[in-house]
């Protein structure tokens, strides 16, 4: 076992899948330039040397490249299409939402669309257009699976599961969790590295995990918010509040079984997300829990999220925008009181 960052683990995952299966290829901007960066966050670094014909470096044409991935997928290829920042998914929105997500359905189930899509999210000092957490937008689109790895182990396992899935899978990755190095390192980064097994493994899409066991309240969060939840749980333990932290890992499909079991035990839930509150993923989780386990809830589900504003640039405002451990602590204190 070796310790790897998310960027490294994803790179290994791509390499292994491309080695295993000739149909797998990568398509994206600045992903295959000798002397370049391996995409915006070093994930594909050097892969162009190993797979010169399967690293497709595109012009800046997001609609074009996602549409091309769809065409190739229908011909039996397994493309991994990425954007440099999740925000740019919006430039390919029609291809993703109208074409990729619906093609199988419109064909009456006669076509498979094995596409993996990768998109970095998270506010990182770059201003409103390189910062959005778009989970809430894609979450409501039927026909796309969505995963959100918070650790290197999960990143590799979910990526490999996504590539082997016969359906469109969108992977949201967090800029501050990559562990990108050198000139591409991020300030404010959080260590999300893991011990990675030598042998092949996947993390099944749709299965969450309990990150920390507890009895008083269930805190649910993915990506960076999972790490913040763990921090909060640690702090709250000192106050005698026992927090169970659940990382759903997949948003679509969602591991209701795991979350429900936890909430039946704790009787309280706090849902944390980095995106804006209104219409967020947290709303769905809260609404569902209210229907699914209403008899067990001793308090209404609480949501911790960003306010309904674009992401501001200046650090004091950005820090105010993004939920942190303190805000989770506060919400938990309120719900247990």
Least CB distance to its own copies at residue 82 (A):
17
Distance, CA of 276 to CA of 281 (rounded, Å): 9
Candidate segments 111-119, 179-187, 189-197, 297-305, binder of its own copies by CB under 8 A: 297-305
* 93 touching its own copies, by CB under 8 A: yes
Least CB distance to its own copies at residue 238 (A):
27
* 237 touching ligand TPP, by CB under 6 A: no
Residues of span 181-240 touching another protein by CB under 8 A: 182-184
Per DSSP bridges, beta strands 217-220 and 243-247 are parallel
- State the binding partner of 281 from ligand TPP, its own copies, another protein, none, CB within 5 to 8 A by kind: its own copies
Distance, CA of 131 to CA of 152 (rounded, Å): 21
Q: Which is nearer to ligand TPP, 74 or 91 (CB)?
A: 91
Q: How many CB atoms lie within 10 A of CB 150?
A: 28
Instruction: For residue 179, give the DSSP letter.
Output: -
Residues of span 30-89 touching ligand TPP by CB under 6 A: 60, 62, 84, 88
Per DSSP bridges, beta strands 217-220 and 269-276 are parallel
Least CB distance to another protein at residue 331 (A):
18
Closest listed residue to residue 39, CA positions, set 14, 63, 71: 14
Q: How many CB atoms lie within 10 A of CB 58?
A: 17
Candidate segments 92-100, 155-163, 216-224, 227-235, binder of its own copies by CB under 8 A: 92-100
Least CB distance to its own copies at residue 59 (A):
16
Task: Identify the residue among 33, 63, 68, 91 touching ligand TPP (CB under 6 A).
Answer: 91
Q: Which is nearer to another protein, 101 or 335 (CB)?
A: 101
Closest listed residue to residue 158, CA positions, set 150, 18, 46, 44: 150
Q: Are the beta carbons of 177 and 189 closer than 8 angstroms?
A: yes
Task: Identify the residue among 113, 169, 233, 252 touching its own copies (CB under 8 A).
Answer: 252
Residues of span 264-283 touching its own copies by CB under 8 A: 275-276, 278-283
Distance, CA of 126 to CA of 314 (rounded, Å): 9
Q: Estimate to the nearest angstrom the gap between the alpha carbon of 296 and the chain centroid.
A: 29
Please give the sequence-ordered ranges of beta strands (E in DSSP) within 70-115, or none if there are none: 78-82
Distance, CA of 209 to CA of 245 (rounded, Å): 9
* 103 touching another protein, by CB under 8 A: yes
* 7 touching another protein, by CB under 8 A: no
* 173 touching ligand TPP, by CB under 6 A: no
* 140 touching another protein, by CB under 8 A: no
* 91 touching its own copies, by CB under 8 A: yes
Site size toward another protein (CB under 8 A) is: 80
Distance, CA of 318 to CA of 321 (rounded, Å): 5
Q: How many CB atoms lie within 10 A of CB 116?
A: 30
H/E stretch holding 236 reads: helix 223-238
* x-or-dash string of contact with its own copies, 110-149, rule CB under 8 A: -----------------xxx------xx-xxxxx------
Per DSSP bridges, beta strands 116-121 and 145-147 are unpaired
Residue ranges that bind its own copies, judged by CB under 8 A: 87-88, 90-91, 93-94, 97-98, 101-102, 105-106, 127-129, 136-137, 139-143, 252, 275-276, 278-284, 286-288, 290-291, 294, 299-303, 307-310, 312
């Amino acid at each position: 076992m070796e310790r790897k960052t998310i960027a490294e683990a994803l790179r290994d995952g791509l390499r292994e899948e491309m080695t295993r299966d000739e149909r797998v290829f990568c398509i994206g901007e600045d992903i295959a330039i000798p002397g370049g960066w391996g995409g915006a966050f070093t994930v594909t670094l050097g892969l162009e040397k190993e797979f010169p014909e399967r690293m497709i470096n595109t012009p800046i044409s997001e609609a074009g490249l996602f549409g091309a991935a769809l065409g190739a997928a229908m011909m039996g290829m397994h493309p991994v299409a990425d954007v440099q920042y999740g925000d740019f998914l919006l430039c390919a929105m029609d291809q993703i939402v109208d074409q990729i997500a619906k093609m199988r359905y419109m064909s009456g189930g006669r076509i498979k669309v094995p596409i993996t899509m990768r998109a970095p999210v998270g506010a990182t000092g770059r201003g409103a257009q390189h910062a959005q957490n778009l989970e809430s937008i894609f979450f409501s689109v039927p026909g796309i699976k969505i995963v959100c790895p918070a650790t290197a182990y999960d990143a590799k396992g979910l990526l490999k599961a996504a590539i082997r899935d016969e359906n469109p899978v969108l992977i949201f990755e967090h800029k501050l969790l990559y562990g990108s190095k050198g000139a591409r390192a991020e300030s404010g980064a959080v260590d999300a590295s893991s011990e990675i097994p030598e042998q092949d493994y996947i993390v099944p899409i749709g299965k969450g995990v309990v990150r920390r066991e507890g009895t008083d309240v269930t805190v649910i969060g993915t990506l960076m918010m999972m790490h913040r939840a763990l921090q909060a749980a640690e702090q709250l333990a000192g106050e005698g509040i026992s927090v169970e932290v659940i990382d759903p890992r997949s948003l679509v499909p969602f591991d209701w079984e795991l979350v429900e079991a936890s909430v039946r035990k704790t009787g309280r839930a706090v849902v944390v997300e980095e995106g804006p509150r209104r219409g967020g993923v947290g709303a769905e989780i809260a609404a569902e829990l209210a229907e699914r386990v209403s008899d067990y809830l001793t308090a209404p589900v609480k949501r911790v999220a960003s306010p309904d504003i674009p992401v501001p640039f200046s650090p004091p405002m950005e820090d105010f925008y993004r939920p942190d451990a303190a805000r989770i602590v506060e919400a938990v204190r309120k719900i247990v009181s």
